[in-house]
Amino acid sequence: MITISILGSGKVAHHLILNILEQDNIALQQVYARTPDKVSNLVSHNQIITNISELKPADLFIIAVSDDAIEEVSNAIPFANAFIVHTSGTKPMDSIQNTNRKGVFYMLQTFSLDKEVDFSEIPFCLEASNVEDFLLLEKIAIKFSERVYKISSTQRQAIHLAAVFVNNFTNHLCTLGEEICKENNVPFDILKPLILETAHKIEVLAPKDAQTGPAIRGDQSIIDRHLNALNDPIKKEIYQLITKSIQSK
């Protein structure tokens, strides 16, 4: 039986806890939470601690906190040769500040508390300071997902940067699209099939081959009409910049 303790109570910790509880041969040892109410509906009261010094030994400690808190939390773990990983997409493995064995257990997905995710489809990016610890991480990750990768800190930072473009920026563009719909009394639902088809299309085509629209066609009359319809200078600037980027490719 592999024992795991989670340090954190946010969105990543929430989903990790739920999926650990579903696994055979993996046991949730403890959850360290500064705000125990966030996880009290997930695990029993005696598994939750608010003082990090109360941690019991475990095979793996997963730090699932904000990037800025990783060093502080890791430095407070009261062990000298435990295996400790963080879940950050940007922080190097060595941001874990102690004499313990170190690693990274990064899940490349966007998480929300009120939205379930299919862990079997989530890419797991793994890193460890020695082979034995990596094999343990791999053994755990394979129980969660079919997509497990050995990724260095440098590669992970590049993946995270790319993810900001394809996820965070794309979602913001959807937000702007929703605003335009509302301003013109059009239901945003009308765009959802298009959004889904855009996502599905890159399953079979390279993104550059799937590009459509007035920018790639060079249809300046439509571009000018769109720009004239935009009253928000920020939306107009975004439209112009993305149009220029598309045409430069």
- Fold for domain 2-151? Rossmann fold (3.40.50)
What CA–CA distance (Å, rounded) separates 62 from 214? 47
* Burial (Cβ within 10 Å: 0-12, 13-18, ≥19) of residue 162: exposed
Instruction: Output the CA torsion sign for 194, 196, 197, 201.
Output: positive
Using CA of residue 91, residue 93, residue 99, residue 100, what is the dihedral sign?
positive
Pairing of strands 101-107, 123-128: antiparallel
pLDDT at 114: 76
Contact (Cβ atoms closer than 8 angstroms) between residue 96 and residue 113: no
CA dihedral 222, 225, 230, 233 (to 10 degrees): 90
Kindly report, residue by residue over 125-180, the tens digit of the pLDDT: 999 999 999 999 999 999 999 899 999 989 999 999 999 999 999 999 999 999 99
Q: Which residues of the chain are modeled with pLDDT < 50?
A: none
Q: Report CA 190 to chain centroid distance, whole Å.
A: 28
Give residue limits of the domains in the chain: 2-151, 156-248
Alpha-carbon torsion angle 157, 161, 167, 172, nearest 10: 140
Q: What is residue 193's predicted lDDT score, i.e. its pLDDT?
A: 96
Superfamily of the domain at 156-248? ProC-like, C-terminal domain (1.10.1040.20)
Do 127 and 93 contact (CB within 8 A), yes or no? yes
**Amino acid sitting at position 93:** M
Dist. CA 244–CA 120, nearest whole Å:
38
Could you tell me what percentage of the chain is helix, strand and coil, using 3-state DSSP and rounding each to the nearest 5? 50, 15, 30
For residue range 96-107, list pLDDT tens digits in order.
987 789 999 999
Amino acid 80: pLDDT: 86
Is pTM beyond 0.85? Reply is no
